[in-house]
Amino acid sequence: MIALLGMVLGDLLGWLFVMAVFGFWGFRSYLKSTDRGNLVIKWTCSVLLFFAAIGISKLKFAFMPLLLVLPIAVCGIMWIPNVFSILIKPLTNAFDGGDEEAEMKPFYFIAEVKRRKGLYQEAVAAVREQLEKFPGDVEGMMKLAALQAEDLRDLPAATATLNELLQQPDLPSNKTVAALHALADWQLNLGRDPEAARATFERVLQLYPNSPVSLAAEQRIAHLEGVTDARNFRENTVFKVPVRERDLGLRQTVPQPESPADDADALAAEYVRQLEKYPADTEAREKLALLYAEQLDRLDLAISQLEQLAALTNATPRQTAHWLGLLATLHIRQGNDMVSAENALRRIIDQFPKTAAASQALARLGTLQAELKAASSVTASKALGVYEKDLGLKSGSGSPRFGR
């Protein structure tokens, strides 16, 4: 009795499991099917044929096996299209994208084609058509502003478009910075208005203070005067071929060219003046450090400049690693100091572990001895000029920015 009860219970659990599997499969197929009515009919017929096959299997006569094949064959024929669809579905998905609903997104190909053909007004209309369907799309707004500024030379319209974009509350920070930099470039190149560009870069400083993007904006501000001077030089300077003295070789005394040391002094003084106006100009400070080390034989001042750069808290890891690597290079080439070079490289490893910069620094540690052997001999001393020698050595009060 107990054995019979166990068999019945086992059969019941087995049937429940089979019904659960087929029920889940059937319900999922029903949700995905585009012809649910036909699917329900097929499932109903399959269930009836299944029970008919069970009934036929219990009959005791000679032709029972042949009769049992009939409901199985009917059920198989009925499901052949569905089975074939399942087998071929991976191949068809490669062409039609499958059953997943395509994500709706703006389409700017027509606008790009018209822009390349010089049909700028038509391109603007094509972009606006997409923006009507997808209001506030960042790509579309940037394309519209670029068309207005670069092709139609309508800087006020481009400015209005970007300001509308910047008013979006959920605009990502990288898109905001890209839009402001694009606007500043147009204000410089098209509007010839460095003050407007400065104001735009200052918006970056206000939005993202003490960040890598603010440091980049400070660099752009520091070089605004140079951009204006270079443009004025190109536009207003008349280049003339100088007339050289033809009998120079016949003269008893030949004029001496300017000393390279004098050129280095003048260049260092220029960098000093730039840093007095813009202490956050990392490009000028790095150039001054190289000038101190390579031409003026003042490794101590060069190290001080690079240490200030490496101490910046709003620099990117890549920038900091670059300055520390340069510090190691100067310790080897100008100072023949392998210990200090190793310390500089280990600072990269400690500050930025598990990064490409740390891996490169670790690999370089193994080649420092070879670098030291290849380093040049001690160069002749060069006197410093009359500019302030201690610029950058005056430390601030623990500020991440440069001291004055």
pLDDT tens digits, one per residue of 223-282:
997 655 545 544 555 555 555 555 555 555 555 555 555 688 899 999 999 999 999 999
Sign (positive or negative) of CA dihedral 57, 60, 65, 69: negative
Per DSSP, helices labelled H in 151-193 are 155-166, 173-189
Mean pLDDT over residues 322-337, rounded?
94
Which residue did the predictor score with more confidence, 68 or 309?
309
Using CA atoms, how far apart are residues 305 and 395, in angstroms rounded to an integer? 11
Using CA atoms, how far apart are residues 389 and 291, in angstroms rounded to an integer? 12
Using CA atoms, how far apart are residues 2 and 197, in angstroms rounded to an integer? 92
Residue 395's nearest CA partner among 299, 229, 274, 279 is 279
Using CA atoms, how far apart are residues 133 and 104, in angstroms rounded to an integer? 10
Residue appearing with tokens 């420092």: 368
Q: What is the pLDDT of residues 76-112, one digit of tens each?
A: 677 677 666 666 766 666 555 555 555 788 999 999 9
What residues have CB less than 8 Å from 125, skipping those under 6 apart? none
Residue 46's nearest CA partner among 81, 72, 11, 69 is 72
Indicate the fold that domain 106-171 takes in CATH: 1.25.40
Lowest mean pLDDT among 99-108, 128-137, 139-148, 244-253: 244-253
Q: Based on C-alpha coordinates, what's the Rg of the chain? A: 38
Three-state secondary structure call for residue 253 = coil
